[in-house]
Structures are given as C-alpha cells and as structure tokens.
Structure 1
Amino acid sequence: MTIVLPSETQDAMRELILLVCLHDHDAADRCWTAFGHALAHAGPGCDGHRLLWPLSEATGTGAGFYVEWNDPAALVRSVRALAARAGLQVDWGVADPLAPAFLAAHDVPALMTIAQASLRAAGHTLWCWDTQADAFAGWLVRSRDEARLASVAARLQLMIDPADETC
C-alpha cells in the first residue's frame, strides 16, 4: 500500500528529518528514502503522531534511539552513539556508565536527565516522543534548533518533549 502525504506534511517531515540528522543533507536524504519505504509498509491512517513509527524505522540507530523502559544499558549505548555522531561525549558522572552498579541505581528517565544536562552544555538536546508503549524513543538535535523542532512538531501534531521532561 502506498500512502501519499500532503505536500505540507512532506515538507514538515523533510524538515524534521534534516533536524534529527543534524543538518547532514546526505544522511537526511538517506533517511527520507528509508522513511518512504517504511511509510509504504505502514497501515492506513498513518498521519500525525503515527508518522513517528515509520520515521523511527527510517532513522534507526544512526539518528534516533528506541529503548525499552527497563533497559538502561541500551539507553546509555544509544545516547553514546548519537553523541559520538555529533562529536560529543556524554558525562554520565561515572567512569563506566555501563557498570552494573550504576545501571542498577538509575532507570531510563533518570539516565535521560543525566545525559540531557551534559548534552545541553554541549549545545545539543535529546528529545523524546511518546511511543504510547513501555519504551522511549527520540533523537538528538542542536539546541539552537529547538524552536524550529517545536514548530515542525506542532505542524505535524507530534507529541515530543525534551528527554529530561519525559517520564
């Protein structure tokens, strides 16, 4: 089934993809193509907030993250990879954020708050979208793009929040 999005929605999705690809036009073009393929396999009524599922599939771990609520190690690995893509390192406050004792003391929302403080200090913001499931998903964007991201999200009717405001 092919889903045809209105041109305004396509334009907003292209802008969102460019933001989550940190303005890397080649990566954004690859994600746009992957988004089109994912959208072709999406069910009918894939609009508004439901567009995030094919987008998540399209961005994969290169520009996004998706972790289960009870997998803090997956969040640490995912955020590390996103930060590395931007040339950043997250200060988790410990030498090894994958150490069992550290992970046992922090759930996914707590780790997102820690990561957010470090990333904001470096000019980036971790954003999450409501998966409406027992999971967390989102992207890393430049902090200077926050207003633009909020505008795109409003046009697309997406429920997104900075990661440190997500619980």
Structure 2
Amino acid sequence: MTIELPSETQDAMRELILLVCLHDRDAAQHCWTAFRHALAQAGPGCEGHQLLWPLSEAAGTAGAGFYVEWNDAAALVRSVQELAARAGLRVDWGVADPHAPAFLAAHGVPALMTIAQASLRAAGHVLWCWDTQADAFAGWLVRSGDEARLAGVAARLQLMIDPADETC
C-alpha cells in the first residue's frame, strides 16, 4: 500500500533526509526510496513524530542513522564511529580503545553520546537524537551549519529531536 503524505510534509521530509545524508543527493535519493517503503509498511496514520520510525529505518539502510538499545554502549560507539567515518571524521572518545570492556562498562549510552558530541562539534558536525518513546536511542549526524535548518524542518513536521548531549 502506498501512503501519500501531503506535499508540504513530503517536501519537509525530503529536506530532512538531505540533511541527514549530509547533502549527498544520491544517498538522499536512496534514503527517500527506503523511507517511502518503510512508510508503506507503517500504514495509514503515520504522521508527526511517528514519521521518525520509517525515517530511522530508511536512514539505517542508507548508513545515515543509528538505533541502539538504551544499554548497548558498544553498539553506540560502533554506530557513531560509522556515521563519523562517513563524514570523513574520527570521534575522540578520550581513550585509545573505545571498545575496551572497561571503558564501555564505565559509560552508559547517554554519557557516550555526550563524549561523542564534544568531539563531533569540534569537527563541525552535530549528533542528533529523537525520542523513541522506548528503551532505545536513535538519530543521525548533521553538519553544524545545518542545525537551524534541521530545527526548522523538525518544527514543521512536529518532530521531537534534540542534540544528543541534550537528550539525556
């Protein structure tokens, strides 16, 4: 089943996807296609904040987003490193091996998002998260210069999103 969003919602979602894909038009087109498929699976009534579920699925397939359980520190480190690498960045976790069991045991997902955010902001990017209303964290990376634009698109779509260091 194809779900047709109002044209202004489609335009805002396309803009959001372009930001999430770091202005890579090919990746954004792939993500848009995956979003439309995920939206069709979600069914009628998917609007406002609920649009983040199909977006999260689509961003994941395009390598532009992350979704981790609230207690999976290793998955967060891995996911954020992949997002950063896609942008040509390296996250400074403050340790030689962020996958070391002792480091992961000492930091929960919220603390790790704060550490990553400091490093990414210094490199001109911002990690954003959305409220999954579940025991999980999800989000994406955008350029720092796109923060105001992202916030505007989120407001138009009625999405509850925040910079990752403000999520917790």
TM-score scaled to structure 1, two decimals? 0.99
State which drifts further: 21-30 or 61-70: 61-70
Aligned to 2:29: 29
Aligned to 2:17: 17
Aligned to 1:48: 48
The alpha-carbon deviation at position 43 of structure 1 amounts to: 2.6
The alpha-carbon deviation at position 2 of structure 1 amounts to: 2.2
The alpha-carbon deviation at position 166 of structure 1 amounts to: 0.8
Matches within 5 A, 1:42-81: 42-60=42-60, 62-81=63-82
Structure 1 runs (4+) deviating above 3 angstroms are none
State which drifts further: 111-120 or 38-47: 38-47
Residues 18-75 of structure 1: CA deviation (Å, up to 9, x unaligned): 0000000000000001111111111321000000000111111600000000100000
TM-score scaled to structure 2, two decimals? 0.98
How many Å separate the matches in 1 of 2:132 and 2:44? 18
Note if 1:6 corresponds to 2:6.
Answer: yes
SS of 2:42's equivalent in the other structure is: coil
Aligned to 1:119: 120
Matches within 5 A, 1:78-117: 78-117=79-118
Aligned residues: 167
State which drifts further: 61-70 or 144-153: 61-70
State which drifts further: 40-49 or 25-34: 40-49
Residues 131-150 of structure 1: CA deviation (Å, up to 9, x unaligned): 00000000000000000000
Residue ranges of structure 2 left out of the alignment (5+ in a row): none
Q: Which amino acid aligns with 2:125?
A: H
Q: Which amino acid aligns with 1:57?
A: E
How many Å separate the matches in 1 of 2:43 and 2:35? 14
SS of 1:41's equivalent in the other structure is: helix
Across the aligned residues of Structure 1 and Structure 2, the Cα RMSD in angstroms comes to 0.7
The alpha-carbon deviation at position 92 of structure 1 amounts to: 0.1
The alpha-carbon deviation at position 3 of structure 1 amounts to: 1.3
State which drifts further: 34-43 or 139-148: 34-43
Q: Which amino acid aligns with 1:125?
A: V
How many Å separate the matches in 1 of 2:167 and 2:52? 16
Residue ranges of structure 1 left out of the alignment (5+ in a row): none
